Amino acid sequence: MTGMEELVIYTFPFVAYVVFATTKLLHAIPATVLAGFLLLPPRYAFNLPLLPTIDKANVIALTVAGLALAFAPRPGRAAAPAFDHVAAQEMLPGLLPRERWALVCVVSLVLVVPVGTVLTNRSGLVLADGFVPGLTFRDIGNSVWLFGLPLLTLLTARKFLGGEAGQRTVLYALLLAGLFYSLPTLLEIRLSPQLHNWIYGGFPHSWIQHLRGGGFRPVVFMTHGLVLALFLCMSLLAALACLRVADFDRRWLYAVAAGHLFLVLVLSKSLGALMIALVLAPLIMLCSVRTQLLAAAAIAIFVTTYPAVRGAGVNPFGTVAHVVEAAGQPSRASSLRFRLAQEEILTRRGWEKPLFGWGGFGRAMDFEAEGRHASVRDGLWLITFGERGVVGFLAYFGLFAFPLVLLAARSRRIEVSPATTALAVILAANLLDLIPNSGSTVVTMLIAGALIGRLEHARQTAPAGATQAATAPVGGERTYGRSAPQAARARAGVGAGLRAGGAMRTASAARAQPALPVAPARPRGPAQRAGPTEVSRARDVRYTRFPAGPPSSEGE
């Protein structure tokens, strides 16, 4: 620990305040999160009694949440130079999510899991050469801080970045941050990972793990080179998404950015992140929105069911080790086999306390007769499942997986933009990396919160019209269980050949005429209360274009 680490950590809130005071809110939130994630020292931690630990993730979460709420648009506030009218329009009410599943996950992580873990692990573990104490009620507070503070980033993103402008801002921020961070990354690829040592002193991880293929795996200011490679992969996917939807005259810019990020990712010597990028890049570039959402949902389901799969003795990645070895990487194949063997041991250990897990202090590890740890944990799913059980695992990973599944399930009822689709695929890439690694960061929380907010925005806009279309009479008719888009189209009479569905046509054949062609754009008077035919004609006219505005609806 050096003085530079403390200086940067404790001055970060003041720098963030300047960013929020001079930048629009939708830009300040992702910019502050990404700047803290990329630049703050990763290993600094100062423990306070009965208070949360001051470290990189907690400082970012507290700073962003506090400043976002302080600068949030409010009615009657004077319009400052950086006042964000778009943020005022897209801001969701409250800080807690309105989606029930998200609220259940948050409450479970903050309240249910800490209490359940402590109550089921009160007794200690007697070893051959020592004793591991049981959990006490003081550990409940530690667990609340452990899970609650990082969730502030997710809750802030859900509140402010759930609209379409917020989704695009997050996507562009990922791209720009990746391009910026590629410069020090290339420097460390050439000179070896020295930036953290030069600026903060020391090295954040094991040096031997960052010697690969006769060169170096860059780290910069991350906890590990694998975390850096995953971030480059996410930035590359963001660049490809921007390339697909960009105007023709600007596509070359995004193509150059994507090519540059791909080259840096290859030079970073992280096979896992590179394989994820090679699998998901064609998905973003070639597939439709719905196909991308279905693929992201499939990855989410796979990750959330992985503990059950491993508990059943199934090894989905057994053939991957043979492929890696056949590709001329025997050391990496051996490392993968070692990880899979450790997974099998620790999964059996975790299923001994399946509900709330073993808790902290290494209690979830498997021990040898001499009392030493006989296994190594790498994947975040394995750490979460072993320490917090099935309830904690589903609550934590559910915040990342459920948005992807629900976006795919509701994609036929709501409009999902390319920016939202790209963020879903990027989050799926991060989820997939959490099986072999533990790369859940504030960026993961940022993207997941933005997608949760997108689902809530869809519920605010679509269900109101859907409910009205499903319950309101149409020219004296009922919808008879038709879906909201069908009922709305039937009521509007849009298109020359649009007809009512089978059930509506059968119910209203004796009373209503077929839908009329779109009327000329000439204003007509309000409907007269003469009968169903005139009312339906007036409603057909209402949904055409009027240069002087729509007609009055007093007759309806």
Q: What is the per-residue DSSP string for 489-527?
A: HHHHT-STT----HHHHHHHTTT-PPPPPPPPS---PPP
Residues 293 and 364 in one domain: yes
Q: Report the pLDDT averaged over residues 357-364.
A: 84
Length of the chain: 556
Q: Report the pLDDT averaged over residues 490-516.
A: 38
CA 242 to chain centre: 18
In a domain, 14, yes or no: yes
Residues 453 and 354 in one domain: yes
pLDDT tens digit string along 13-60?
A: 999 999 999 999 999 999 999 999 999 998 888 887 767 788 899 999
Percent of the chain, pLDDT > 90? 43
Which residue type sits at 251? R
pLDDT band at 128 (very low <50, low <70, confident <90, very high): low
Strands (E), 149-235: 211-212, 215-216
Q: Report the pLDDT averaged over residues 465-481.
A: 38
Residues 33 and 103 in one domain: no
Please compute, for residue 387, the number of CA atoms within 13 A of its CA located in the half-sphere on the CB side: 19
Q: Is residue 536 over pLDDT 50?
A: no
User: What local confidence, expressed as pLDDT, does residue 131 receive?
Assistant: 76
Range scoring the smallest mean pLDDT among 91-100, 335-344, 426-435, 459-468:
459-468
pLDDT tens digit string along 290-342?
A: 999 999 999 999 999 998 888 887 777 767 777 777 776 677 777 777 778 88
User: What local confidence, expressed as pLDDT, does residue 82 receive?
Assistant: 53
In a domain, 112, yes or no: yes
Residues 305 and 441 in one domain: yes
In a domain, 332, yes or no: no
Cβ(60)–Cβ(36) below 8 Å: yes
User: What local confidence, expressed as pLDDT, does residue 499 receive?
Assistant: 33
Of 38, 59, 91, the one marking the end of a domain is 91
Q: Report the pLDDT averaged over residues 422-432.
A: 95
| Tokens matching residue 333 | 């194949």
In a domain, 65, yes or no: yes
Of 64, 91, 118, the one marking the end of a domain is 91
Residue with tokens 């507290």: 62
**Stronger pLDDT, 159 or 527, i.e. the higher one:** 159
Q: Is residue 368 over pLDDT 50?
A: yes
Residues 188 and 305 in one domain: no
Cβ(32)–Cβ(22) below 8 Å: no
Q: Report the pLDDT averaged over residues 162-185.
A: 94
Number of domains in the chain: 4
Residues 361 and 448 in one domain: yes
Q: Is residue 363 over pLDDT 60?
A: yes
pLDDT band at 129 (very low <50, low <70, confident <90, very high): low
pLDDT band at 508 (very low <50, low <70, confident <90, very high): very low
- 44 — phi, psi (to 5°)? -75, 135
Residue with tokens 């109550």: 119
| Tokens matching residue 459 | 């519920």
d(CA 56, CA 441): 10
Residues 280 and 292 in one domain: no
The CA–CA distances, whole Å, from 541 to 214, 248, 330, 485, 491 equal 73, 38, 72, 19, 11
**Stronger pLDDT, 265 or 332, i.e. the higher one:** 265
The CA–CA distances, whole Å, from 171 to 31, 127, 346, 423, 450 equal 11, 50, 37, 7, 11
Cβ(185)–Cβ(229) below 8 Å: no
Q: Is residue 151 over pLDDT 80?
A: yes
d(CA 185, CA 198): 15
Residue with tokens 């009694």: 49
Of 45, 60, 91, the one marking the end of a domain is 91
Under DSSP, the state recorded for 46 is E
User: What local confidence, expressed as pLDDT, does residue 241 receive?
Assistant: 95
**Stronger pLDDT, 189 or 141, i.e. the higher one:** 189
Strands (E), 8-134: 45-46, 54-55, 125-126, 131-132
Q: Is residue 468 over pLDDT 80?
A: no
| Tokens matching residue 137 | 């009620």
Residues 279 and 292 in one domain: no
Residues 101 and 178 in one domain: no
User: What local confidence, expressed as pLDDT, does residue 531 receive?
Assistant: 46
Under DSSP, the state recorded for 350 is H
pLDDT band at 116 (very low <50, low <70, confident <90, very high): very high
Residues 185 and 262 in one domain: yes
Residues 45 and 127 in one domain: no
In a domain, 320, yes or no: no
Range of the domain at 489: 472-542
Cβ burial of 6 (10 Å; 0-12, 13-18, 19+) is middle
User: What local confidence, expressed as pLDDT, does residue 75 receive?
Assistant: 63
In a domain, 463, yes or no: no
| Tokens matching residue 400 | 């990342």
d(CA 514, CA 512): 7
Residue with tokens 């980033």: 153
Range scoring the smallest mean pLDDT among 437-451, 457-471, 510-524:
510-524
In the three-class reduction of DSSP (H, G, I as helix; E, B as strand; rest coil), residue 176 is classed as helix
In a domain, 499, yes or no: yes
Where are the alpha helices (H) located in 366-494, listed in sequence order?
A: 380-409, 418-433, 442-471, 484-492
In a domain, 547, yes or no: no
Residues 187 and 278 in one domain: yes
Please provide the average confidence, as pLDDT, over all residues in the chain. 79
